Amino acid sequence: MKKAFLGIDIGSISTKGVVIDKDNNILADSYLWTAGNPLDAVKSVLKELKNKLENIYTVVNVGTTGSARRLIGAALSAGVIKNEITAHAVGTLSIIPGVRTILEIGGQDSKIILLNNGVVSDYAMNTLCAAGTGSFLSSQAGRLDLSLEEFGPLALTSENPAKIAARCTVFAESDLVHKAQIGYSKADIVAGLCRAVVLNYLNNVGKGKRITEPVVFGGGVSKNAAVVKEFERELGVPVYVDGRGHLTGALGVAVLCKARKEETIFDFDIADIKFETKGIECSLCPNNCEIICVYKEKELLDAWGNKCERGTVAG
């Protein structure tokens, strides 16, 4: 059997999984909505990956990243659990070794990662406001009775993009309604929204950052050709988008799995096992820590959230 490595990126909007070989070739991938339940989403991703993966491969290491990386890492007994910055940097480097700047806009957050000789030198994240993220564009598309797939192509037809204030979702929605009322076409409004997303990103996440070529744009929003065009217009440099850009987090943590010496055969049938999470509040000190416990078939796998040893939860 040939060795393979599994990486899972569990975000608030979508859950991604990839299986790679020793040369970083993607053998199987999956992209599904998290739908507020990361455990069920991961089970579905694992089933899809199992069906796509040839039976000549055996997964010998698992890694997790994303907002629910600790939870899913405990459930899958992952050998590698890494933050999104590291995972996205490694994943992008595995595709484009010379990358210097990574622009990333996901479902509910956005980030910028600067690299120097393959090492992260600076980064910034925006997780406080949904303005300028994938969920923002999705909600605006709904207001305009458009699908996200229609968004980019329609915006590219505009010759007079409307000026939309996207520094806040509330202001943007109000501005969108106003522009429609005074006669702007859907194409002009959509183009204005795409431009506003880029300006919001550069004025907040990218503020004060030295953006150097090569520039790579990743995350779900990178599939919007109009947003890519606006980034190129504002930066004055080519912006590269890879077809695997939505998978770079999962790809990165899978690549990191290869460096782990200890190997454990992963059984995809774990997707059929019942996992449960419970939140408890520790009252043993004034911190009142909220502790998250993860159980597998009623057996405690892991617990975290305590700020002192008094809140330690043992199986």
**pLDDT tens-digit profile of 210-252?**
999 999 999 888 888 999 999 999 999 999 999 888 899 999 9
- Percent of the chain topping pLDDT 70: 95
3-state secondary structure of 257: helix
Q: Given the structure tokens 């505009």, which residue do they identify? A: 158
Amino acid (one-letter) located at 171: F
Q: Does residue 72 contact residue 187 with C-beta atoms inside 8 Å?
A: no
Q: Is the pLDDT of residue 103 over 70?
A: yes
Which has more confidence, 217 or 181?
217
Domain extent listing, the chain = 2-91+250-272, 98-241, 275-311
Which has more confidence, 134 or 191?
191
**Tokens (6 digits) for 170:** 């509330």
Query: What is the predicted pLDDT for the residue at 132?
Result: 64
Query: What is the predicted pLDDT for the residue at 127?
Result: 58
Topology match between the domains 2-91+250-272 and 98-241: yes
Query: What is the predicted pLDDT for the residue at 121?
Result: 96
Q: Which is nearest to 17 in space by CA: 35, 36, 44? A: 44
Query: What is the predicted pLDDT for the residue at 296?
Result: 79
Q: Which is nearest to 109 in space by CA: 92, 93, 123? A: 123
**Band (20; pLDDT cuts 50, 70, 90):** very high
CATH of domain 2-91+250-272: 3.30.420.40
Phi, psi for residue 238 in degrees, rounded to 5: -65, 140
How far, in Å, CA of 73 to CA of 81, rounded? 6
Q: What is the mean pLDDT of residues 95-100?
A: 94
Question: Beta-carbon neighbour count of residue 220 at 10 Å?
Answer: 23
| 255-to-6, 8, 12 alpha-carbon distances in Å | 9, 11, 22
Q: Is the pLDDT of residue 122 over 70?
A: yes
Pick the CATH number of 98-241 from 1.10.10.10, 3.30.420.40, 3.40.50.2300, 3.40.640.10: 3.30.420.40
User: What is the average pLDDT value for the chain, to the nearest integer?
Assistant: 88
How far, in Å, CA of 240 to CA of 214, rounded? 8
Name the pTM for this structure. Answer: 0.84
Tens of pLDDT, residue by residue over 133-180, are: 777 777 778 778 888 788 889 999 998 888 887 666 667 777 877 887
